């Protein structure tokens, strides 16, 4: 059982995880501490919303913490770990949500044999629907890896991966919800342009995406087979798909994921020197 969970960083992803952990009763709110170094109003908001402990003092957040989640900007890593060093020990499990920061860098900066797991969830964790990839650093035990897996299973599905694959997961699943929001926004705009109300268009698009995602998840058929079943030759769906093919939308989606992965790898470069 986790006696004290400390979040260092309190952005949207951290909030999504807290929401999910509490909803699934993985941990009680009075066992969670949240920290950031500059935004007192944000901490006050989180304290009111979740009834967790909040502090701008890292030592207070980290004292006696057995699980630590790093949720700050990758560029702040070295400074943050330097500040945290006096309060870290090899019995703690550290989970890093930071894109591009290898476990080896965090271990080296800490100066101890620190168990570090890299995790790449997405903001759907707030409703228990995240797709999360995790990878263990060199000092992580089997029991600690299982704990990390159990932690993220409370907020969705978990894939245990090689650390070299985490950047791929970041571009595919970590950023993935944004790609669907982009598509949803475009579909809603199309409905409005064709003459239905913004409210009706939004509702129709949301339910359509929800239904399609649920069918894809529950069906034994592949996405290609489901597409073929609905896009009958000469029909309305095929007319729409023809435009997507003419505009090379499939290739654009592949390129979208690829460039997100490339960016994740670029972000890791400064930490490998």
DSSP the chain: --S-EEEE--SHHHHHHHHHHHHTTSS-GGGEEEE-SS-HHHHHHHHHHH--EEES-HHHHHTT-SEEEE-S-GGGHHHHHHHHGGG--TTSEEEE--TT--HHHHHHHHTS---EEEEE--GGGGGT-EEEEEEE-TT--HHHHHHHHHHHHTTEEEEE--GGGHHHHIIIIISHHHHHHHHHHHHHHHHHHTT--HHHHHHHHHHHHHHHHHHHHH-SS-HHHHHHHH--TTSHHHHHHHHHHHTTHHHHHHHHHHHHHHHHHHHHGGG--
Q: Are residues 31 and 2 in contact, defined by beta-carbon separation less than 8 angstroms?
A: yes
5-169 and 176-266 share one fold: no
pLDDT exceeds cutoff 80 at 207: yes
pTM of the model: 0.90
The arithmetic mean of pLDDT across residues 168-182, rounded, is 96
pLDDT level of residue 60 (50, 70, 90 thresholds): very high
As a whole number of angstroms, the distance between CA 265 and CA 101 comes to 9
Residue range 4-15, pLDDT digits in tens: 999 999 999 999
The arithmetic mean of pLDDT across residues 185-200, rounded, is 98
Is the torsion defined by CA of 22, 28, 30, 36 positive or negative?
A: negative
In this predicted structure, what is the pLDDT of residue 273?
62
User: C-alpha angle with apex 270: 264 to 273, nearest 5 degrees?
Assistant: 130
In this predicted structure, what is the pLDDT of residue 150?
92
Average pLDDT, the chain: 95
Domain boundaries, the chain: 5-169, 176-266
Task: Return all residues near 118 (Cβ < 8 A) that are at least 6 apart.
Answer: 95, 96, 101, 102, 103, 134, 135, 137, 163, 166
The arithmetic mean of pLDDT across residues 40-55, rounded, is 95
pLDDT exceeds cutoff 80 at 180: yes
In this predicted structure, what is the pLDDT of residue 15?
93
pLDDT exceeds cutoff 80 at 1: no
In this predicted structure, what is the pLDDT of residue 224?
96
Instruction: Say which CATH architecture domain 5-169 belongs to.
Output: 3-Layer(aba) Sandwich (3.40)
User: Lowest-pLDDT range, 61-65, 109-113, 169-173, 269-273?
Assistant: 269-273
For domain 176-266, give the CATH number.
1.10.3730.10
Residue range 236-272, pLDDT digits in tens: 999 999 999 999 999 999 999 999 999 999 999 888 7
Residue length of the chain: 273
* Phi, psi torsion values for 119, nearest 5 degrees: -130, 140
Q: Are residues 191 and 184 in contact, defined by beta-carbon separation less than 8 angstroms?
A: no
How far is residue 229 from each of residues 208, 221, 222, 224, 254, measured CA to CA in Å?
A: 16, 10, 11, 9, 23
Q: Which of 20-29, 32-41, 183-192 has the highest mean pLDDT?
A: 183-192
């Amino acid at each position: 059982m986790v006696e004290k969970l400390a979040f260092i960083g309190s952005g949207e992803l951290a909030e999504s995880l807290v929401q999910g952990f509490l909803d699934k009763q993985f941990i009680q709110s009075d066992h969670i501490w949240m920290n950031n170094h500059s935004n007192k109003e944000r901490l006050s908001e989180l304290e009111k919303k979740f009834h967790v402990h909040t502090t701008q003092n890292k030592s207070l957040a980290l004292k006696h913490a057995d699980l630590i989640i790093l949720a700050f900007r990758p560029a702040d890593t070295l400074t943050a770990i330097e500040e945290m060093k006096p309060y870290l020990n090899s019995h703690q499990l550290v989970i890093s949500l930071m894109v591009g920061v290898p476990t080896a860098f965090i271990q080296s900066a800490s100066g101890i044999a620190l168990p570090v797991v890299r995790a790449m969830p997405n903001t759907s964790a707030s409703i228990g629907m995240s797709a999360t990839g995790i990878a263990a650093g060199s000092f992580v035990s089997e029991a600690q890896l299982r704990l990390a897996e159990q932690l993220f299973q409370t907020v969705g599905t978990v894939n245990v991966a090689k650390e070299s694959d985490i950047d791929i997961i970041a571009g595919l699943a970590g950023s993935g919800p944004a790609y669907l929001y982009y598509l949803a926004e475009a579909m809603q705009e199309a409905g409005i342009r064709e003459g239905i109300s913004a409210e009706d268009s939004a509702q129709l698009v949301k339910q359509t995406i929800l239904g399609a995602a649920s069918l894809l998840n529950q069906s034994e058929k592949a996405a290609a087979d489901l597409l073929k079943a609905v896009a009958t030759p000469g029909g309305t769906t095929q007319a729409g798909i023809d435009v997507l093919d003419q505009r090379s939308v499939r290739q654009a989606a592949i390129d979208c994921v690829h460039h997100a992965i490339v960016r994740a790898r670029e972000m890791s470069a400064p930490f490998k020197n």
